[in-house]
């Protein structure tokens, strides 16, 4: 029977893990922000086609989502840390490829490894964060982790904005940063020998070996995840949400370059504003999620979509005089949306099942691909065939459906 001393050691164990994740989120945010600023513009420079850019955005999303269930399943059985490190190692290899080679086929192979790596890393990382946080502070803890990430992002964006180097320069720096991250997490992330070291108190304390074996031989997780009515309502909402917002955001950065001829430096400033907004609002919004509940946090985040895409439309209308101020305002509000929406989303998706949380998280993200994955292609086609602002109008018209669903159907958590 666990003693008070054991409980204290466990809490210290968890704190060290959270500190490690927080610190590596800062340095990863620094590197990924550079990658994020130059990635789509770099692909557009090579392809000179919004449609091909849409194909590549869709392909990257597919590669990220395909391994998530398998990664989650392995992590639930054998632990989270090794999968996190494997994913990071694949990202490094992919970045090195796109630094060295200029041929499109080799660049696509690098993209494949990068996004496969993220797909392998993300499920165990998010569940590991939840398992190490306190039961009633999941929203705040995810907010703190995002705060660290966006704090680091500001430095990366400033670097792109003021250095003005070629894209491969930033890809190379990002590779070096991830190598440092692998080193830190290899030595400082600690995991108990069991596959699920930190179950919440609401889970039954002991599962017999017979029960575990029976569970592993039971019906497919794809079936059981839909059998729970609450899970079904959550899945439908996030699937629809990924489609509605994805049609405007999936190739947004590349479309800015194609339609307004923005430079990497201008995009860097826009993303810095987005990251500053995230830093300001992450922790207050994390407290808000835990206070008002996940459902109404999602409602608030989606409601702000009217402001974001309204500013985007106004930026196009007044593009000769006020384009950049409207883009700055839109991204500042988008930072608020991320601050309130993501912690609520992560708290929900990381708790769909008590015994196999990582596998279910991976399945859920793969389901979301059905909504978001085609949006890069669809958005590129709409922009090419109709108009640049058409995706924004579509999103604005569909957001009320999301809000109605949240009010009438989405499960309460308070």
Q: Which DSSP string do the residues of 135-187 spell out, in sequence order? A: TT-HHHHHHHHHHHHHHHHHHHHHHHHHH---HHHHHHHHHHHHHHHHHHHHH
**Choice between 90 and 228, residue whose per-residue pLDDT is larger:** 90
CA neighbor of 38 nearest in space, from 267, 375, 270, 258:
267
Backbone conformation region of residue 410, classed left if phi is above 0, alpha if psi is from -120 to 50, else beta: beta
> What pLDDT score was predicted for residue 60?
86
Asked if 281 and 340 touch (Cβ cutoff 8 Å), the reply is yes
**Choice between 122 and 14, residue whose per-residue pLDDT is larger:** 122
CA distance 151 to 158: 12
The dihedral built from the CA positions of residue 344, 24, 10 and 214, taken in this order, carries a sign that is positive
* pTM, to two decimals: 0.74
For domain 9-191+219-408, the question of CATH label 1.20.1250.20 is answered with: yes
Give the mean model confidence (pLDDT) for residues 125-144.
80
> What pLDDT score was predicted for residue 4?
58
- Please tell me the number of Cα atoms within 13 Å of 242 on its side-chain side: 21
> What pLDDT score was predicted for residue 157?
83
> What pLDDT score was predicted for residue 347?
85
Backbone conformation region of residue 166, classed left if phi is above 0, alpha if psi is from -120 to 50, else beta: beta
Compute the radius of gyration of the chain from its Cα atoms. Answer: 21
Give the mean model confidence (pLDDT) for residues 205-229.
59
Domains of the chain, residue spans: 9-191+219-408
Res 211 pLDDT > 50: no
> What pLDDT score was predicted for residue 402?
94
Give the mean model confidence (pLDDT) for residues 170-181.
96
Digit-coded pLDDT (tens) for 4-20? 565 566 677 788 889 99
Backbone conformation region of residue 291, classed left if phi is above 0, alpha if psi is from -120 to 50, else beta: alpha
**How far does CA 305 lie from the centroid of its chain?**
18
pLDDT tier, 311 (very low <50, low <70, confident <90, very high otherwise): very high
**How far does CA 7 lie from the centroid of its chain?**
32
What percent of the chain is predicted at pLDDT more than 90?
36
- For residue 250, CA distances in Å to 135, 174, 369 come to 34, 22, 12
> What pLDDT score was predicted for residue 93?
97
116-120, 335-339, 366-370: least confidently modelled range:
366-370
Asked if 367 and 239 touch (Cβ cutoff 8 Å), the reply is yes
The beta strand positions in 196-351, using DSSP E, are none
Round the average pLDDT of the chain to a whole number and report it: 84
Give the mean model confidence (pLDDT) for residues 125-145.
81
Digit-coded pLDDT (tens) for 340-363? 998 899 888 888 877 888 888 888
CA neighbor of 167 nearest in space, from 116, 224, 99, 119:
99
Res 90 pLDDT > 70: yes
């Amino acid at each position: 029977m666990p003693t008070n001393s054991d409980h204290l050691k466990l809490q210290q164990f968890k704190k060290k893990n959270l500190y490690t994740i927080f610190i590596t989120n800062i340095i990863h945010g620094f590197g990924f922000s550079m990658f994020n600023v130059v990635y789509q513009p770099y692909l557009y420079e090579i392809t000179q086609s919004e449609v091909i850019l849409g194909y590549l955005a869709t392909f990257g999303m597919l590669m990220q989502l395909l391994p998530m269930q398998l990664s989650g399943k392995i992590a639930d059985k054998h632990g989270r840390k090794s999968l996190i490190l494997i994913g990071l190692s694949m990202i490094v290899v992919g970045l090195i490829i796109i630094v060295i080679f200029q041929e499109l086929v080799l660049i696509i192979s690098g993209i494949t490894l990068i996004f496969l790596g993220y797909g392998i890393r993300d499920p165990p990382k998010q569940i590991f964060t939840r398992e190490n946080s306190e039961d009633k502070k999941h929203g705040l803890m995810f907010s703190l982790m995002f705060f660290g990430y966006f704090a680091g992002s500001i430095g990366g964006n400033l670097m792109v904005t003021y250095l003005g180097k070629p894209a491969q320069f930033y890809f190379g720096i990002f590779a070096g940063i991830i190598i440092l991250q692998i080193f830190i997490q290899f030595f400082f992330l600690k995991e108990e020998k069991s596959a699920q070291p930190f179950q919440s108190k609401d889970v039954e304390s002991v599962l017999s070996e017979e029960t575990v074996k029976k569970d592993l031989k039971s019906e497919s997780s794809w079936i059981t995840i839909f059998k729970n009515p609450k899970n079904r309502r959550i899945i439908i909402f996030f699937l629809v949400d990924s489609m509605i917002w994805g049609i405007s955001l999936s190739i947004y950065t590349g479309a800015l370059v194609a339609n307004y001829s923005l430079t990497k430096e201008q995009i860097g400033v826009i993303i810095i504003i987005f990251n500053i907004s995230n830093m300001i609002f992450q922790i207050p919004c994390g407290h808000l999620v835990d206070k008002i509940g996940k459902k109404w946090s999602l409602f608030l985040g989606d409601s702000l979509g009217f402001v974001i895409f309204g500013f985007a439309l106004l930026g196009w209308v007044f593009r000769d005089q006020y384009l950049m101020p409207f883009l700055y305002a839109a991204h500042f509000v988008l930072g608020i949306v991320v601050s309130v929406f993501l912690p609520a989303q992560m708290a929900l998706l990381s708790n769909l099942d008590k015994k196999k949380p990582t596998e279910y998280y991976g399945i859920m993200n793969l389901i979301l691909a059905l909504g978001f994955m085609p949006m890069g292609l669809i958005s590129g086609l709409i922009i090419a065939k109709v108009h640049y602002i058409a995706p924004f109008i579509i999103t604005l018209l569909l957001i009320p459906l999301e809000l109605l669903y949240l009010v009438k159907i989405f499960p309460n958590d308070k």
